[in-house]
Structure 1
Amino acid sequence: MNDPVVTRYAMLADLAQIVDLHTRARLAYYQAGGLAADAVQTPTVREDQRTGWTEAIESPHKRVLCATVGHEIVGVAAMGPPLESAPDTSRAGQLYQIHVVPGRWGNGIGGVLHGTFLDYLADAGLSLGLIEVWERNTRALAFYQRYGWRPDGGSRPGPDHSRYLFLRLALTGDHRTVQ
């Protein structure tokens, strides 16, 4: 019998599992994009991940949700207010990241976590979603495109002469319907 994917708020007790999951997912998509493991994961990056996830879990303005199957954390998502101010960000929320255990990609876990972001936008009365995606992470770009995300023309520098692309998701009255 297959256990369903269930989401719950992350706790500090989940931190080691979240950092491990984040590391595994990050290594998989950066290596698929042509980067070597030692260019992606260092002790400094690992410590930065611990610090960032701790701050996000403890923040009253951010949500961190774990996707679980049985007792195993198989995905994580972080969201909250936009990281940078822009003219229309007063009506926006930002999906900082979604990560799924690489061996479980394609099983709907990312979709469940994406749904938690849509719920966050609806709960906050927001009509615009923002995210940055590494241009070489073609799997993630295709995932977000399926959900209606579109490039807004902006980007910032990424590793190895690449870019992080800025995507937007405009919502209609029903938070599950995108324009």
Structure 2
Amino acid sequence: MRPARFGDLAAIVDVHTQARAAYYQAGGLPGSEIDSPDGWARRRATWAHAIQSSATTVLCAVEDTEVVGVVAMGPPKEGAEAAPSCGELHRIHVRPDRWGRGVGGLLHAEFVSFLQESSLETGLLDAWERNSRALAFYTRHGWVPQGGRRPGPGGVDFLRLRLDLRGRVAATAASGSTVPLD
């Protein structure tokens, strides 16, 4: 795991492009709706901004010298309803050929560390309602629906999820277990 560099931009966009194609296809979107001709350029611009922004933390999961996963986190996006004690998991992507190998768990642990180091109690994210793989991943890591929705591709909404670190600590203390927060 290491901070993203501007030289990683093409690899990050490639990871994002592969991951989104896989989960949108699995969710039933036809190929024609998954990507527009300018999609790659939009993703590149978004990641370039995130890497260069002082408000956003972008980390890469690297195997040997190859970027296989990426996470972006920071304050909630403009217009998002959130308390000052919230941080947002803006994006998390893993190359599909690395799914199930723990890369996503490592990226998620970095987000939890970000919240803890920033003294934030709550994490927020949006997940596409038909991305069952991601929703199962987030559920395993303690995320719950917050109730918010926004329109997504194919007429299927993105769901707003919430991770409450205080609740996880309280539940762990009440049970007497020593389950790690990540």
Q: Normalising by structure 2, what TM-score?
A: 0.89
Within the candidate set 19, 23, 26, 2:20 is matched to: 26
TM-superposed deviation, 1:169: 0.2
**Which residue pairs with 2:172 in the alignment?**
none
Instruction: Report percent identity of matched pairs.
Output: 49
**Which residue pairs with 2:177 in the alignment?**
none
Find the aligned partners of 1:29 and 1:128 in 2 and give their Cα distance. 26
Gaps of 5+ in 1: 1-6
- Give per-residue Cα distances to partners, 1:14-69, cap 9 Å, x unaligned: 00000011000000000000112221112211111010000000000100100011
Q: Compared with structure 1, are the counterparts of its residues 132 and 35 closer, same or farther at alpha carbon in structure 2 (3 Å cutoff)?
A: same
- Give per-residue Cα distances to partners, 1:116-168, cap 9 Å, x unaligned: 10111111110000000000000000000000000011111111111100000
Gaps of 5+ in 2: 170-179
Does residue 158 (structure 1) correspond to residue 136 (structure 2)? The answer is no
Find the aligned partners of 1:59 and 1:157 in 2 and give their Cα distance. 26
Find the aligned partners of 2:28 and 2:54 in 1 and give their Cα distance. 37
Number of residues of Structure 1 aligned to a counterpart in Structure 2: 170
Equivalent pair of 2:33/2:154 in contact (CA under 8 Å): no
Equivalent pair of 2:112/2:181 in contact (CA under 8 Å): no
**Counterparts in 2 of 1:29-178, with a 5 A limit?**
29-83=23-77, 84-86=79-81, 88-172=82-166, 176-177=180-181
**Which residue pairs with 2:173 in the alignment?**
none
**Which residue pairs with 2:176 in the alignment?**
none
Find the aligned partners of 1:22 and 1:64 in 2 and give their Cα distance. 13
Runs of 4+ in 1 over 2 A off after TM superposition: none
Counterpart amino acid of residue 117 in structure 1: F
TM-superposed deviation, 1:85: 3.9
Find the aligned partners of 1:168 and 1:10 in 2 and give their Cα distance. 25
